[in-house]
């Protein structure tokens, strides 16, 4: 425990080095190297702690007001999320070091002092043991990431993104503040231990839970509170985007898990129902949004929204099973959620690194300017392919294992007592399956337009492979994606203390003995999956196939020009090539026309007119359209009303004060009774 605290202090010191970066030689190396080393140590610490059964360690630090001490505590759940945060923190430091060297922009704002601060803030949230420390760390994390977003303030889109992010972050913190107020109740004791022992009941608990869902959900990106996320995440430098998307959203998931599974005690079943619905809607909307994007990083950010939806749905499933007192199945759903948390942090950071590599080579985030990068950036292309395949839940990679566990939990729906929940879970299953299939389509579109085909611009044509640090930063998560897909059971074993803490059961409780390479968790449905055997069989079969074909069939290859639809050879400007937006058209028509009111506009000149034909797509964001635009209008109108108060006579001011006083007195009189 003391180690985690000192590591956080170390990160703060590194931030100080970052502040004085201009005067210290090799400051960039020191900051990124130090952060990477500290993160690696913290990740190792959490693995060791989990492997050793993850006992709970608490510490009171003499910080803050004299009569209040800051409480920190690390249990199994904290350890799981510490592992997630610091694993990505380590790879992000490695990648970021290379990225800043390759892509340094002198006019951009400072990143060095804020980067360790951001990671320190996230770590601090995970070990906070009182509401006060939790909120301070939460704000710390939010503000550090906000400043990191602002570091690209020269980009035309950044100021708006930062403004919306700030508003949403403040809103989220305000909700969490109210929520903790409700949870602490009349005792006014904000230590988590006190909340745990006097968990509120009735409407206070419900309101608190809903406020946590809104407050942490806005940070995680639950629809419709996701609006800031696809603006802010892509605006930051790529390694910070990876941290924000891959990890900071997970800290929000941690907050939800901590409150709903730990602090609140016995949950009500319909809270889980709310989470299921929110999660499924978020998953489907997120992936549909992603399908519409032409900006590589924004596409990834929307895909984060989708994955958060999947995680929240899995947590909701764990909650309903916990409320129904079926802990083994709750443990299954919880394992699915935790596995998806680490899976998503791996492949999403990998994909964001890939986007950073592409950005530093092509100098654009627009998919319409890329193409054919597989030839010019072969190593990056392989790693991004692994990430895209993993996020599309293809076996034998890690994304599939998470999906498999989740569907096993869904198949246990009949174990629930409520009719409405049984049917809801079936519907949620369909929605999540739809989201997964759409995600595959989305990443085929992303990879196909960025890395395959022919270059769509001079910069894509002249792109160069990135430096070794960036390649290594991508290699680590890519290897882990494969490893966790092939051997998920050891990791689930490692996470078992956390599921036991949250839902009082482990995923393997009902099976006496499990070999480490076999995944067969549930009791109700005796299914199993073996990634290792599957990978081996796939390997053997394809080797047999390759050998057989090259032995007995023709092995000759001739290169030639493909049919170019009337051009002599292929058209030189690659205009007949499918673009991202044309690839998305069938799905846009099938789903987008109702959800987003997406319309294709074709401006076709008359015969004889020499101006070029134009095509563009318009769509409206339902979240803005239905919620935020009216809200902004309402705020503006209220502000107008309040504005009038500035121009009153003194007598009127006195009158206002007098009425306020009388109303207060009346309230006191009423409540006194």
Partner 1 sequence: MTLLTSVFLQIVQMLVVLALAPGLTGFVRWVKARLLARRGPSILQPYRDILRLLKKEAVLAHNASWLFRTTPYIMFTAIWLAAGLIPTFSTQLALAPTADLIALIALLGSARFFLALAGMDVGTSFGGIGSSREMMIAALAEPAMLMVVFSVAILVRSTSLAEIADFMMSGAVGLRISLALALISLVMVAIAENARIPVDNPATHLELTMVHEAMVLEYSGRHLALIEGASMLKLLLYAALIGCVFAPWGMAGPGADSAAVIRGLATFVLKLGVAGVLLAVFETSIAKMRVFRVGEFLGGALLLSLLGAIFLYVSRGV
Partner 2 sequence: MHDLGYDAAHLLGAVVLLMSFALLYQRRLFALLHVFTAQALALSAAAAWQGYIQHAPHLYVTALLTLGLKAIVMPVALHRIVVKLNIHRTIEPALSVGLTMLAGVSLVTLSILLVMPVTESASALTREDLALSLSVVLLGLLMMITRRNAVSQVVGFMSIENGLILAAVGVAGMPLIVEMSIAFSVMVAFIVFGIFLFHIRERFDTLDMQKIESFRGESH
Binding site for partner 2 (CB under 8 A): 419-420, 423, 427, 590, 593-594
| Residue 375 near which of partner 1, partner 2, none (CB within 5-8 Å, type-dependent) | partner 1
Q: Which is nearer to partner 1, 160 or 375 (CB)?
A: 375
Q: Which is nearer to partner 2, 268 or 434 (CB)?
A: 434
Our measurement of the distance from residue 300's CA atom to the centroid of its chain's CA atoms, rounded to an integer in Å, reads 10
- Residue selected from 449, 471, 495, 499 as contacting partner 1 according to rule CB under 8 A: 449
Q: Which is nearer to partner 2, 420 or 527 (CB)?
A: 420
- 102: exposed, middle or buried (Cβ count in 10 Å: 0-12, 13-18, 19+): middle
| Residue 623 near which of partner 2, partner 1, none (CB within 5-8 Å, type-dependent) | none
Minimum distance, C-beta of residue 593 to partner 2, in the bound complex (Å)? 8
- Nearest CA to 162 among 111, 252, 241, 236? 236
Minimum distance, C-beta of residue 4 to partner 1, in the bound complex (Å)? 38
Minimum distance, C-beta of residue 289 to partner 2, in the bound complex (Å)? 19
| Residue 420 near which of partner 2, partner 1, none (CB within 5-8 Å, type-dependent) | partner 2
Q: Which is nearer to partner 2, 82 or 421 (CB)?
A: 421
Q: Which is nearer to partner 2, 82 or 431 (CB)?
A: 431
CB atoms under 10 Å from CB of 83, counted, come to 25
* CA distance linking residue 214 with residue 256, whole number of Å: 10
Q: Is 410 in the site for partner 1 (CB under 8 A)?
A: yes
* CA distance linking residue 137 with residue 176, whole number of Å: 12
| Residue 594 near which of partner 2, partner 1, none (CB within 5-8 Å, type-dependent) | partner 2
Q: Which is nearer to partner 1, 29 or 586 (CB)?
A: 586
Q: Is 106 in the site for partner 1 (CB under 8 A)?
A: no
- Residue selected from 408, 501, 507, 592 as contacting partner 1 according to rule CB under 8 A: 408
Minimum distance, C-beta of residue 592 to partner 2, in the bound complex (Å)? 12
Phi-psi region of 638 (alpha: psi -120 to 50; beta: other; left: phi over 0): alpha
* CA distance linking residue 506 with residue 483, whole number of Å: 22
Q: At which residue do the structure tokens 């939010």 appear?
A: 142
Which residues, other chains included, contact 497 with Cβ-Cβ below 8 Å and sequence gap of 6+?
50, 53, 54, 76, 79
Which residues, other chains included, contact 68 with Cβ-Cβ below 8 Å and sequence gap of 6+?
132
Minimum distance, C-beta of residue 89 to partner 2, in the bound complex (Å)? 43
Site for partner 1 in 511-570 (CB under 8 A): 520, 524-530, 533-534, 537-538, 541-542, 545-546, 549, 552-565, 570
Token pair recorded at residue 184: 């602490």
Minimum distance, C-beta of residue 111 to partner 2, in the bound complex (Å)? 47
The residues with which 130 forms a beta bridge, in sequence order, are 191
Site for partner 1 in 21-60 (CB under 8 A): none
Our measurement of the distance from residue 441's CA atom to the centroid of its chain's CA atoms, rounded to an integer in Å, reads 19
Give the number of residues in contact with partner 1, rule: CB under 8 A. Answer: 85
Minimum distance, C-beta of residue 630 to partner 1, in the bound complex (Å)? 31
Handedness of CA 194, 198, 204, 208 (dihedral sign): positive
Binding-site string for partner 1 from residue 388 to residue 407, where x marks contact by CB under 8 A and - marks none: -x--xxxx----x--xx--x
* CA distance linking residue 124 with residue 114, whole number of Å: 15
Site for partner 1 in 578-637 (CB under 8 A): 578, 582-587, 589-590
Minimum distance, C-beta of residue 419 to partner 2, in the bound complex (Å)? 5
* CA distance linking residue 347 with residue 356, whole number of Å: 14
Handedness of CA 456, 459, 464, 467 (dihedral sign): negative
Our measurement of the distance from residue 376's CA atom to the centroid of its chain's CA atoms, rounded to an integer in Å, reads 30
Minimum distance, C-beta of residue 284 to partner 1, in the bound complex (Å)? 11
Phi-psi region of 74 (alpha: psi -120 to 50; beta: other; left: phi over 0): beta
Asked if residues 414 and 336 have their Cβ atoms less than 8 Å apart, the reply is no
| Residue 228 near which of partner 2, partner 1, none (CB within 5-8 Å, type-dependent) | none
Q: Is 573 in the site for partner 1 (CB under 8 A)?
A: no
* CA distance linking residue 648 with residue 651, whole number of Å: 8
Q: Which is nearer to partner 2, 594 or 610 (CB)?
A: 594
């Amino acid at each position: 425990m003391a180690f985690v605290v000192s590591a956080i202090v170390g990160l703060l010191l590194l931030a100080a080095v970052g502040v004085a970066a201009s005067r210290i030689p090799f400051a960039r190396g020191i900051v990124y190297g130090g952060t990477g080393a500290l993160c690696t140590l913290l990740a190792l610490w959490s693995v060791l702690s989990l492997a050793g059964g993850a006992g709970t360690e608490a510490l009171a630090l003499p910080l803050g007001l004299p009569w209040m001490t800051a409480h920190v505590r690390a249990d199994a759940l904290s350890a799981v999320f510490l592992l997630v945060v610091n694993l990505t923190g380590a790879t992000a430091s490695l990648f970021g070091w290379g990225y800043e060297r390759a892509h340094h922009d002198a006019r951009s704002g400072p990143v060095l002092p804020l980067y360790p601060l951001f990671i320190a803030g996230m770590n601090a949230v995970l070990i906070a043991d009182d509401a006060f420390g939790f909120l301070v760390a939460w704000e710390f994390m939010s503000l550090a990431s906000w400043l990191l977003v602002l570091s690209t303030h020269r980009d035309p889109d950044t100021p708006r993104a930062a403004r919306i992010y700030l508003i949403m972050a403040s809103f989220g913190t305000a909700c969490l503040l109210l929520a903790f107020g409700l949870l602490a109740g009349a005792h006014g004791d904000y230590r988590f231990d006190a909340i745990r022992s006097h968990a509120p009941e009735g409407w206070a608990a419900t309101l608190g839970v809903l406020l946590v869902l809104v407050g942490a959900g806005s940070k995680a990106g639950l629809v419709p509170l996701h609006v800031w996320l696809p603006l802010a995440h892509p605006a930051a430098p790529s390694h910070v985007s990876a941290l924000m998307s891959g990890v900071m959203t997970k800290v929000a998931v941690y907050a939800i898990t901590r409150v709903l599974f730990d602090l609140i005690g016995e949950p009500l079943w319909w809270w889980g129902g709310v989470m299921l619905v929110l999660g499924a809607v978020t998953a489907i909307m997120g992936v549909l949004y992603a399908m519409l994007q032409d900006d590589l990083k924004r596409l990834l950010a929307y895909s984060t929204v989708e994955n958060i939806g999947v995680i929240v749905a899995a947590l909701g499933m764990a909650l309903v099973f916990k409320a129904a007192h079926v802990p083994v199945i709750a443990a299954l759903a919880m394992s699915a959620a935790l596995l998806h948390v680490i899976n998503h942090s791996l492949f999403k950071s990998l994909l964001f690194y890939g986007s950073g590599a592409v950005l530093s080579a092509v100098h654009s985030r627009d998919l319409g300017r890329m193409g054919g990068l597989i030839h010019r950036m072969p190593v990056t292309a392989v790693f991004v392919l692994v990430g895209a395949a993993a996020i599309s839940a293809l076996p034998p990679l890690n994304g599939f294992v998470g999906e498999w566990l989740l569907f096993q939990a869904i198949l246990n729906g009949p174990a629930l007592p409520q009719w409405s929940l049984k049917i809801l879970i079936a519907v949620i299953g369909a929605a999540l399956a739809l989201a997964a299939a759409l995600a595959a389509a989305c990443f085929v579109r992303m990879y196909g337009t960025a890395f395959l085909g022919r270059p769509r611009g001079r910069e894509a044509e002249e792109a160069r492979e990135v430096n070794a640090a960036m390649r290594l930063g991508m290699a680590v998560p890519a290897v882990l994606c494969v490893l966790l897909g092939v051997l998920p059971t050891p990791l689930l074993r490692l996470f078992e203390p956390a599921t036991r803490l949250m839902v009082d059961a482990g995923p393997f409780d009902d099976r006496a003995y499990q070999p480490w390479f076999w995944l067969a968790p549930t009791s109700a449905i005796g299914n199993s999956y073996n990634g290792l055997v599957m990978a081996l069989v796939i390997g053997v079969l394809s080797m047999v196939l390759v050998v057989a074909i090259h032995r007995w069939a023709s092995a000759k290859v001739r290169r030639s020009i493909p049919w170019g639809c009337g051009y002599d050879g292929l058209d030189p400007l690659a205009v007949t090539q499918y673009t991202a937006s044309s690839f998305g058209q069938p799905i846009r028509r099938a789903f987008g026309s109702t959800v987003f009111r997406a319309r294709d506009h074709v401006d076709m000149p008359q015969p004889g007119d020499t101006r070029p034909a134009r095509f563009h797509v318009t769509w409206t964001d339902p979240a803005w359209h239905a919620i935020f635009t009216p809200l902004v209008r309402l705020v503006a109108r209220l502000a107008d009303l309040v504005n009038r108060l500035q121009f009153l006579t003194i007598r009127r001011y006195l009158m206002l004060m007098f009425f306020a006083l009388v109303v207060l007195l009346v309230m006191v009189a009423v409540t006194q009774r």
